[in-house]
Amino acid sequence: MKKLTLLSFVFSFFILMEPEKHMAAENLQAILDSMKEGAVVKLENRTYEGNIVINKPMTIIGSDKTVIKGDGTGNVISIKAPNVKLKYLTVTHGSMNRNSAEEYAAIKIYTNNNVVEHISIRHSFHGIYLSQAHNNKIRYNNIKGMGKGEIAAQGNGLHIYYANDNLLEHNTIEGTRDGMFFDYANNNHSYENNISNTRYGLHYMYSDENIFKRNVFTMNTGGAAIMNSNHLKLEDNQFIVNYGNQSFGLLLLQANDNYIANNTFYMNQRGLYIDQATRNIIKNNRIIQNQIGIELWASSNDQTFTLNRISENTIPAVTLGGQGERNSWSKDGKGNDWGSSFPLTDLNQDGIGDFPVIYHSSLHQLIEDQEITNLFLKSPAITIYEKINATLNNDEVMFKDSHPMAAAKSSRKPLLFVAFGLVIGLILLKGRHQLCITFGRNGRKT
């Protein structure tokens, strides 16, 4: 009888303990704690319960279906030791609490020289958060948020806070608040990241001397917002289809001395949106098929635009709030290529137009006064509106490029024009009789 009582007591103890629920979490943390510095931990293809804190240098490697699932109360993985490497994991269920003292993330890094790569992140406030962490490598990660409409309830894909000299490359971020957010973070390098469906794909606040190359921003409310940040280099990036009433490819707000070269701005509401910014060099970019190519506010001075191809935009460039000072549309005798809508003569064949390109527009006042104007920018009526106002002298000079580049070969839709010509030809040349035969009378001629 005593033995039976003891046995049932032991059993009930195990049942009350709910061993499966707690053991996994304790196991992973316990496993990590039991490791020596520099150890390599290989995780199985299963779900481990978090949260975990890494307190010593080590490498954690998962595989296809290794998931670390947080308990929803904090950071899922906190890295508090340097030289930690995390690879091939899925990290989920960080805390979404906004009333806490701290903003939580799937992976929060407080230390230097860590590597985080091939990690998928879901259901977390921030994706990867670098807090005063330097010289880290964050690459090949995939972060998905709650979608474009949700701004306050979720955080950023990569949140870089007072963190310098980090390398961020080949990350894919979708549907978070901002794709990559830099706050007081300097000298970081970001290469070949792909960011879509966020509020701002890239958001710099008070962050200087960062380099940003070959990244792609698509379908964000704003491609990249550079605010209060100086001496950045943005090269070879693509800002594509950032489309919406207040959208832009690249916003420069109180941003100075930045170098923006070889980027593509394609089908954005505004290609570049420049406000209260000075001494930026915008060189060799392709600004194509945007509704407004460049929106330049009067508070911006000393911008240099040179060697850009600015074509097929509804409005190539507009200056709002008056003319800024010393904004230059050419440098060292080289202006911009304004496309086929500004025909040029180049009699000496030096690739530079013989006369300046001057663009007049009457829309600036409407755009400035009435935000609904943006909804008309795709309408063919805009062209007529501009022409009529030009004849009434209601327009103003938007820019003057003294040294325009000869237009590159036009890539307009030739077949489209052939087809359109065909219809017009039918109406005008063949006459109404033939047209009526075509569209009616069963195709019979009598």
Partner 1 sequence: MHYIWKEWKENIRGKGLWLSLSIIVLISISILFRSSVLSFDKGFYVLLINLFDAIIYFIPILCLFIGAFSIFQEKEQKTLIMLLTKKDNYASFLVRKSLGLYVVVLVPLMIWFFLYLLLLKFNFGLDITSYLIFVAAIICLNLVFLQMGAAIGSFSRSRMQIIGYTIFVWFYFFFLHDFILLSFLPDVTHENVKLFSAAYFLNPLQAVRMFLETGMGLYSFGHMSRLLEKFMWTKPVFFLLGNLVIWLVISFGTAIVFNRKEGYE
Which of 428, 421, 426 has its CA nearest to residue 437?
A: 426
Exposed / middle / buried, residue 206 (Cβ in 10 Å: 0-12, 13-18, 19+): middle
- Contacts with partner 1 by CB under 8 A: the residue count is 57
Which parts of 194-223 interact with partner 1 (CB under 8 A)? Answer: 194, 196-197, 216, 218-219, 221
**Nearest distance in Å: CB 381, partner 1:** 4
Closest to partner 1 by CB, 95 or 374:
374
**Nearest distance in Å: CB 414, partner 1:** 8
Tokens of 323: 């003319």
Which parts of 414-433 interact with partner 1 (CB under 8 A)? Answer: 414-416, 418-420, 422-423, 426-427, 432-433
Q: Which residue from 384, 390, 397, 408 is in contact with partner 1, where contact means CB under 8 A?
A: 384
Binding of residue 390 to partner 1 (CB under 8 A): no
Tokens of 310: 């600015």
**Nearest distance in Å: CB 318, partner 1:** 16
Q: Which residue from 39, 41, 382, 406 is in contact with partner 1, where contact means CB under 8 A?
A: 382
* 364 CA to centre of own chain: 27
Please state the φ and ψ torsions of residue 221, each to the nearest 5 degrees: -65, -45
Binding of residue 128 to partner 1 (CB under 8 A): no
Contacts of residue 17, defined as CB under 8 A and 6 or more positions apart, other chains included, come to none
Which of 82, 107, 81 has its CA nearest to residue 159?
A: 107
Measured distance CA(49)–CA(87) in Å, rounded: 17
414-428 helix and 431-439 helix, angle to the nearest 10 degrees: 110
Which parts of 227-246 interact with partner 1 (CB under 8 A)? Answer: 240-241, 243-245
Measured distance CA(315)–CA(408) in Å, rounded: 19
Q: Which stretch binds partner 1 (CB under 8 A): 73-81, 133-141, 183-191, 372-380?
A: 372-380
Binding of residue 443 to partner 1 (CB under 8 A): yes
Closest to partner 1 by CB, 372 or 429:
372
Q: Which residue from 375, 390, 397, 408 is in contact with partner 1, where contact means CB under 8 A?
A: 375
* SS3 at position 350: coil
Q: How many Cα atoms occupy the beta-carbon half-sphere of 438 within 13 Å?
A: 10
- Interface ranges with partner 1 (CB under 8 A): 148-149, 151, 194, 196-197, 216, 218-219, 221, 240-241, 243-245, 247, 266-267, 366, 369-373, 375-376, 378-382, 384-385, 411, 413-416, 418-420, 422-423, 426-427, 432-433, 435-444
